[in-house]
Structure 1
Amino acid sequence: MTSIPQAAEIVRNPPSFRWSVDALDSVTRREHLMLASYATFSRDSGGRIHAEPEHTYRGPFQRDRDRILHSSAFRRLSGKMQVFTGEMGEYHRTRLTHTFEVASIARTITRVLRLNEDLTEALALMHDIGHPPFGHCGEDVLDEYMVSAGGFSHNAFALVIAEELEQRYTGYPGLNLSSEILEGQTKRAIKRDGVVEASARLEVQVVDIADSLAYDAHDIDDALQIGLLSIEALSQLRLVRRALDQIEQHYGRLSNAKLRPALVHELIDLQVGDFLDQATGQLQSWGGCRSDELSMAGVQLQHSLQLRDEQSELEAYLFRNVYRHPKLMSVRKKAADRLGQLFDQLSKDPARLPLRFRQRIDGVGHVRAVGEYLAGMTDRFCNRQYEFLVAGTGPLADW
């Protein structure tokens, strides 16, 4: 044991730190001890487009997570609406808070199933970096205006950001992420009926599930807080009724102020618990198999039939009563008009684009270059640029 005087000397004169061969291999050893056979292992990574030396103490997926987290596109998520805008209050989620909530839920699921938590977290942090301003309304507008250039998808645009638009300290464009991150995001970009295909890695499927149940529960929370929904009306839905019954059983009758956060917690807990029960049962027979073998076999993790049916009922209700609520529709129309007019203005005069987007015109065409510039904006910046262009007082500022 180190004595107190010895410890004090170490603090005063710390030794120069050198990683040993064992330390360099620590990620591989940790994954071997902790992960199931069908998890994605760092040692099996397909690498990066631009070869880089391995880091001394971070695995490849940890580095991917950090690159995404420190990117400009990720920071801008704090200024992009999830469903509700700043005009409707200050409480509700942004794309950034939604992303952190998805990452938290996905990591919880991944840890229980003994999948790769570093890969899952990186995938979760990346999943919405391609979202344009004004949520799905903004995506609909860009998709319409960019139809001649193949349309717009926030999932596909996330790949453009990661591979081309982000500028790091290296001599090449993009974040140079691991092939597993790019592959996972590609699976999201080609989803059918809102679900990633069964050939996707289990970590990709977990992020997709976490995304879906997070926005359902949290959109309910935001809509209740803003006053678009009532708990009484929601209680007619089977999944909500189950959650309310559980809350009453555990805590008795709560005031509405306490019931709202309790309801959100219970909705998430019910769905995560159901998913873990189903996934654990599905994966029992695959012990000893590798990740690629499960992908080739088309193993798809999902909720129970009962819960999927309840989720469909809930999502249909939210679509009718929240996403198509008159108050939200008026905000969406205003945002759509502004984004559309900005697109028209910049298409007519692409010289007003920032230099880096003018330079992209030769490679991707002016329609896509305009769309990419607009997609990167925050809600507030988009509004400011709209006012600026209408006033016609000079070139646009870069972001």
Structure 2
Amino acid sequence: MELQDTPELAAFRAEARTWLAGHAPPFSGRVKHRLHFESAESAEAYEEAERASLEAAKAWQATLRAGGWAAIAWPEAFGGRGGTPGQEAVFAEECERFDVSVGPLMIGLKMVGPTLMRHGTSAQCAEHLPPLLNGERVWCQLYSEPGAGSDLASLRTRAVRDEATGDWIVTGQKVWTSSAQVADWAILLARTNIDLPKHQGITYFLVDMRTPGIEVRPLRQMNGSYHFNEVFLDEVRVPAGNVVGEVDAGWKVVHTTLAAERAMIGGGGGERARALVELARSRGRIDDPVVRQHIAEVFTLDEILRFLGLRMRAAITRGVPPGPEASIMKLLVARRAHRAAETALAIEGPHGLLVGEATAGHGSGQQQLLSAQGLRIGGGTDFIQLNAIAERILGLPRQRHPDKDVPFRMTTAQRDGSE
């Protein structure tokens, strides 16, 4: 494991730091552009804040593209810089020093882009990758359904081919869709063959969110925000050219997207213990042994994640793609978020019951506690990550799934009680 930059990476870091100093404002110390960690007094207030965050992200992405820093590890053939994943990781580290973020564009940049480069056609890449790099297009993912969350392969949204035109007609419901209300396009999983087992009859689509028949309904979370949505699709027409990969073989494609999502979540968050130390000092509790113990637990998670990140960066610098270790990092990021938020409120004591600008850290601890549970669900629940770790890292036997080889038509009938 490489704990320090190679000479090449050190030179790249110096170049990146110099460029950022001339083009980005310094970090103000507050959580930036992560609206699902913010409260909102109304849907209108949240929508206004989300639009502002989105416009800032688009402007910064355009600046990155103009400066030659957009999609550092993407091949030049796809519009990237042609650098290494290690360079991309270094640039992300340096960006933490500045008040910039492409957060609202991450689904497109970190999930859609890699998926299209690996599985998409040349026409699909030509149509969608340039707008991604320019900060012109926002994406969401239409995956989870009311009855298909952790067991995503149980999804029921149907896509039926129109034999006259070759298009697909999609009908169904999706839920917990981040940023659907501002998205231009979506990646969609739909069932195209109910006579195959559930993992084999799914197709991966690209969908224009302005297509007639799509209705987005915001979901108010307990932290007051409207980050997630439910999406209804009523006979939505999707062109045949918007299928990614092969028909009925979308499960192979989605593995690329899900692995990228877990790596994205697992690689975020930065340090939490440092902010807790500052909070404890401001509250006069820095010498409290119980508080110190709680901060030490968060610091331990900070360090574990830092070392795991270094290990992953060293691997990808050698050309080894991220593997199941992304599940470990995603799992620990969720645990750390919850532990750090609990510790912040414990330090604040009775003040932890307050919210708003007058509270310590502008109420960030309170909002993070309310939002932390979302990290344990999004991108695959804690139990999904534990299964991946058990099977793919520890080599334990796979959990038996009785319906794995059963045609989906039969499992649906049994679930509905018609057979």
Query: Which bin holds the TM-score, normalised by the shorter protein?
Result: under 0.3
Bigger relative contact order, structure 1 or 2 (CA pairs below 8 A, ≥6 apart): 1
* TM-score (normalizing by structure 1): 0.23
Higher helix share: 1
| Greater C-alpha Rg | 1
